[in-house]
Amino acid sequence: MKIDINTVSTEAKKDIIELQQKISDFKSGKIIEDKFKHYRLTRGVYGQRQLGVQMFRTKIPFGKLTADQLIRLADVSEKFTNGNLHITTRQNIQMHHVKLEDSPAIWTLLEEKNVTAREACGNTVRNLTGSATAGIDPDEPFDVSPYVYAAFQYFLRNPICQDMGRKIKPAFSSSEKDSAFTYFHDFGFIPRVREVDGKEERGFKLVVGGGLGAQSIVAQTAYEFLPENQIIPFMEAAIRVFDRHGERAKRQKARMKFLVKQLGLDGFLELVEQERKAIKNKVVEIDRDAVPTPEPASVKSIPTFEIKDQKRYEDWKRVNTFEQKQKGFYAVQLRVLLGDIHAETARKLAALVKDWAADDIRLTVNQGILLKFVRPEVLPYLYSKLEELDLAEPGFGTIGDITACPGTDTCNLGVTNSTGLAKVLENLIREEYPDLVDERNIQIKISGCMNACGQHMAAQIGFHGSSIRNGALIAPAMQVVLGGGVDPSGKGFVAEKVIKVPTKRITDVLRYLLNDYEDKRTEGEYFNDYYYRLGKKYFYTLLKPLGDKNNLTDEDYKDWGQDGVYEQAIGVGECAGVSYDVVATILEESIEKLDLAEAALNTEAYADSIYHSYSAFVIGAKALLLSEDIKCNTQKGIINDFDEHFVAQDKIQLPTSFNELVLQINKEEPSEAFAKTYLKSANDFFSKVQTIRALQLAQQKTVIVNYYKA
């Protein structure tokens, strides 16, 4: 499709032209598949389970959309995909079944409305999430939205986070209640206010090194109070440390949580402090007005309408709405089944927003939607219109509002069908436990595999896809995890694995748990307190009969939503790095970094130039190490190994050790003089690398190896 890229920003235009060219080069065989995969991931284009199509992910900081942006997303979805918009647990929108060649057109049309795909996937700083209630939360000390937006802008296209070993996920909560789940993020921020010399000072409690997945870790507190102008400098210094010292070869150990655990919090923070000299800005002041409080819709006469079920409306009003900190206005929270909303529904919702709410739609971390500044007299009419759109189901944020990733519907890593199970469990709660429509202290979350896109380890009751082998047969199963989530005081818990049960028996698992909770809990006892009081062994014994594989029936060998016998088919995930090879390909990347360093120097972006030069040093050294079959797993390891295998053995002549040469980066201020000197050193070093490589090739020493992202 022919597109007009002159309608977007200069930065986006450059991105889209480059994407078009890379797609063309890939299709003509000029770029190997794995290198292209690494490139497209950082542009929001992710491989799907079905061959020949992609998932296209947008990057929407703190889930904020205008009505016009939602309409554009709907229009694009209808034109290029199956018309479905999928809301993720990171407050993004995903579209599935996208043709690769259509991705530049999709991106262009979205950028016209200031929606980007840059760094939505890949080893980058992913979408910065924030409490959907930010700005209207009665418990918040101040609106965190401008802070999330400032961090989003600062790290978008930033050289320090384009080629990391793994992704970085930050989150900002609106209050101490931690509705953004900061405790399982790489960076988590909770707003605080203190008084200094009679003046109010804003800042944040900062936690680092959290994460879910196969090995879940609760983030540690780095600062009880970090001044607001220090949050971005800290993040930059910490990302630089992660980029240099973080694992790259072993994907399962490449997240920041493992680096913090390995170094210890004090050791990690010491390296962060050492890095502060090199960062671009020692202080970053936040524009508190960057995300202004939206204007309510104008007052207008309400059309005639009918409430068909008054009790259902009262349940909806009680559970799905709340009065904002701006008295006299209400927030309306919409349950969106599985996070899926069709284009036509989205357009009609946008029209309602324009007429009856503020033009500030927030996607929520539980795959729902929040509307702001609705007047109380409008609520009954709005409910009636939402009911027509199937968006008026009571129970937002309760046990019946189940979070689930796409699972085997579209994901390569999916083991079992999480969406089918979610539908069944929501129906079960609605029909068998209608009194739980208000129950907010029990959350159910489902992931199709252990990687936790459905955040199952952050739920009081969680499930992740697995399987049970019984002789020659394999039954689809769910690992049951209990005791996770945020308690009423805001403390975060990681769930414990209890037992694996065939997925068709998970309905009975839920019945066993809810019935036992009703029977065994003390008056007003929180679910996790009940769980930890009785202990993991108790619940294993309670559920053990359901996990018995000796009495499996034919139905147990089928997954939800499937008629045939279960077949386990797990592809290669694209959640992080890529392996590709050929030393020449790696050397080309070093050339690209040198070109970027020169371009940044010419525009007086000295810190960016220095970081590109640093990357050129490391990539060039990596190429020679791999040419001699020396594996590379961290950038710091590459620097040390290059000294051992090349400098110490006189295979290359340098003015000093490679360590001293390269690590000038964190000992010098990012000045023009240092940027020029450092770039010259990088160019000189790369010339020597090319000479050595030419001699290797002349001796017929061409080595093909795995290209570890280091």
Candidates 588, 687, 699, 548; CA nearest to 39 is: 588
Cα angle: 330, vertex 334, 339; to 5 degrees: 150
* CA atoms of 596 and 616, how far apart (whole Å): 10
Q: How many CA atoms lie within 13 A of 74 on its CB side?
A: 19
Question: pTM to 2 decimals?
Answer: 0.91
* Interhelix angle 145-155/231-245, nearest 10 degrees: 40
Structure confidence at residue 702 (pLDDT): 41
pLDDT digits (tens, 9 = 90+) for 689-707: 999 998 888 775 444 334 3
Q: How many CA atoms lie within 13 A of 253 on its CB side?
A: 11
Tell me the pairing of strands 444-447 and 461-470. parallel
Burial class (CB in 10 A: 0-12, 13-18, 19+), 381: middle
Candidates 376, 411, 214, 628; CA nearest to 641 is: 628
What residues pair up with 323 in beta bridges, in sequence order?
330
CA distance readout (Å), 381 to 76, 304, 305, 371? 30, 8, 6, 14
* CA atoms of 233 and 276, how far apart (whole Å): 8
CB–CB of 412/574 below 8 Å?
A: yes
* CA atoms of 580 and 167, how far apart (whole Å): 18
Q: How many CA atoms lie within 13 A of 188 on its CB side?
A: 29
The token pair at 132 is: 């959907």
Look at residue 150 and give its three-state secondary structure: helix
For the chain, the first-to-last Cα distance in angstroms comes to 37
Q: Which segments in the chain show pLDDT lower than 70?
A: 1-2, 412, 568-582, 700-710
The count of residues in the chain is 710
Instruction: Name the E strands within 150-304.
Output: 170-172, 187-196, 199-208, 220-227
Structure confidence at residue 1 (pLDDT): 56
CB–CB of 250/633 below 8 Å?
A: yes
For the chain, list the domains and their CATH numbers. Answer: 5-64+92-111 (no CATH), 136-278 (3.30.413.10), 310-388 (3.30.70.3340), 403-557 (3.30.413.10), 583-698 (1.20.120.330)
Structure confidence at residue 703 (pLDDT): 40
* Interhelix angle 536-547/527-534, nearest 10 degrees: 90
For residue 388, count other CB atoms closer than 10 A to its CB.
12
CA distance readout (Å), 83 to 78, 118, 140? 4, 22, 37
CB–CB of 371/321 below 8 Å?
A: no
The token pair at 445 is: 């979350």
- For the chain, what is the largest distance between any 2 Cα atoms, rounded to a whole number of angstroms? 87
* CA atoms of 503 and 333, how far apart (whole Å): 30
* CA atoms of 428 and 124, how far apart (whole Å): 39
pLDDT digits (tens, 9 = 90+) for 549-572: 889 998 999 998 777 777 766 544
CB–CB of 52/348 below 8 Å?
A: no
CB–CB of 544/493 below 8 Å?
A: no
* CA atoms of 284 and 291, how far apart (whole Å): 17
Look at residue 5 and give its three-state secondary structure: helix
